[in-house]
Amino acid sequence: MCHINFSRRYTGAMYSWDDDTSDWANPSAYRYQPAGAAQRQQDAARARAQGPRTYSRRSEPDWQLLDPSRDVSSHSRQPMVIGVDVTASMAHWPAEIFDRLPLLFNTLSQYDPALELAFAAIGDTRAFRWPLQASGFGKGFDLERVLKGIYPEGQDRGSIDNPESYGIFARWLNQRVSVPHAPTQDPGRPFCIIFGDITMHPGHTPAELRDVLGEHVQQDIDCQAEFRRVAARWDTWFLRTARCWEPQQTDAQWGEAIGHDRIVVIEDDLRAVDIAMALVAKRWGRIQDFRENLSARQPPEVVQAVLRAVGG
């Protein structure tokens, strides 16, 4: 059993909950909009009271927060779901993604204060005790409790079983997640962003659905069909690391499931959240503000690479 190292302690300003830009590359070049300042200050005060953020190794998930058999809903017009593969092949990537949560939320919520996020940690029903951990929707600093409740269960199976249980995540979205006030078609479908690195299992059995989602069915589900249902309701993207073991097979399968134009290859793992934010900012008509935000944080070559990845 090989576990992802989530034992990290981050104290820098860039990924904090407040408006501090002191450790940005060009701190004077960007200011958050004043509309959400009071909430950011409140979140920052709660973060200071709790102490530095730590994702320490747990022995199991916080099941009160992450049980995927619960029905969850958002009544916001702007829900968003972020799924992260937490298997061992993803290495440090999940922790890097989670560290950037405050930056993601603070940036996107200034574009639309109705934003609510839900998170899912995706594993493998054929190897994990907890192959899917999935939260309800939340805002601001309350999301940090969810992330700290995730158990980074990972098992390196090498070539024995490369696919992961992304299809169970899709089934959770289709059967357990309700967003009654979000648009069901363009323009304005809510975002579903998945960070991963490999193919999905073709199907899942009734026993797997019962054990993970508490669902009782009589036959296997088709995982690509489940993702086609997801993509009809959600603006769905697969952000794949360039470290993928089987890039051609992976892109072909995901392309059939959600559309080939919905796969973005991440050449630099540290830019994954920036690329996710750029996708959202572009769709929401805020790409210029995001460009200024990113330019204040990163050198020009990084800005160009991120915007190039999203065609912006």
Whether pLDDT at 148 is above 90: no
For the ranges 52-61, 67-76, 116-125, 203-212, the lowest mean pLDDT is seen at 52-61
With cut-offs at 50, 70 and 90, classify the pLDDT of residue 55. low
Please provide the average confidence, as pLDDT, over all residues in the chain.
89
Residue 4 lies in a domain: no
Q: What percent of the chain has pLDDT over 70?
A: 91
With cut-offs at 50, 70 and 90, classify the pLDDT of residue 8. very low
Q: Give the count of domains, the chain.
A: 1
Q: Token pair for residue 192? A: 């579903």
Q: Which pLDDT score, from 0 to 100, does residue 56 have?
A: 57
Q: Which pLDDT score, from 0 to 100, does residue 98 have?
A: 83
Whether pLDDT at 157 is above 80: no
- Find the mean pLDDT for residues 166-182: 97
Q: Token pair for residue 225? A: 């069909």
Distance CA(10)–CA(125), nearest Å, equals 31
Whether pLDDT at 128 is above 50: yes
What number of other Cβ atoms are within 10 A of residue 96's Cβ?
A: 17
For the ranges 25-39, 152-166, 283-297, the lowest mean pLDDT is seen at 152-166
Residue 287 lies in a domain: no
Of the candidates 242, 240, 247, 308, the residue with the CA atom closest to the CA atom of residue 279: 308
Q: 116-122 and 79-85: which strand pairing?
A: parallel
Q: 72-73 and 177-178: which strand pairing?
A: parallel
62-77 pLDDT per residue, tens: 999 999 999 999 999 9
Whether pLDDT at 53 is above 80: no
Calculate ∠ Cα 261-265-270, nearest 5°.
140
Residue 136 lies in a domain: yes
Contact 285, 254 (CB under 8 A): no
Q: How far is CA 261 from the centre of its chain?
A: 19
- Find the mean pLDDT for residues 178-203: 93
Q: How far is CA 259 from the centre of its chain?
A: 19
Whether pLDDT at 173 is above 70: yes
Q: Which pLDDT score, from 0 to 100, does residue 18 have?
A: 82
What number of other Cβ atoms are within 10 A of residue 25's Cβ?
A: 15
Residue 290 lies in a domain: no
- Find the mean pLDDT for residues 170-179: 98
The whole domain housing 110 covers: 63-277
- Find the mean pLDDT for residues 206-210: 98
Residue 273 lies in a domain: yes
What number of other Cβ atoms are within 10 A of residue 27's Cβ?
A: 14
109-119 pLDDT per residue, tens: 999 999 999 99
- Write down the H helix ranges in the chain: 37-50, 63-66, 93-99, 101-111, 142-148, 166-176, 206-213, 223-233, 247-258, 272-283, 287-297, 300-309
Tokens 């940690």 correspond to 121
Q: Which pLDDT score, from 0 to 100, does residue 93 have?
A: 82
Residue 58 lies in a domain: no
Domain harbouring 255, CATH code: 3.40.50.410
- Find the mean pLDDT for residues 6-24: 68
Residue 68 lies in a domain: yes
Q: Token pair for residue 183? A: 């648009």
Q: Which pLDDT score, from 0 to 100, does residue 99 have?
A: 85
Residue 131 lies in a domain: yes
Segment of 17-26, 71-80, 119-128 carrying the highest mean pLDDT: 71-80
Give, rounded to a whole angstrom, the gap between the first and last alpha carbons of the chain: 41
- Find the mean pLDDT for residues 267-294: 96
With cut-offs at 50, 70 and 90, classify the pLDDT of residue 54. low
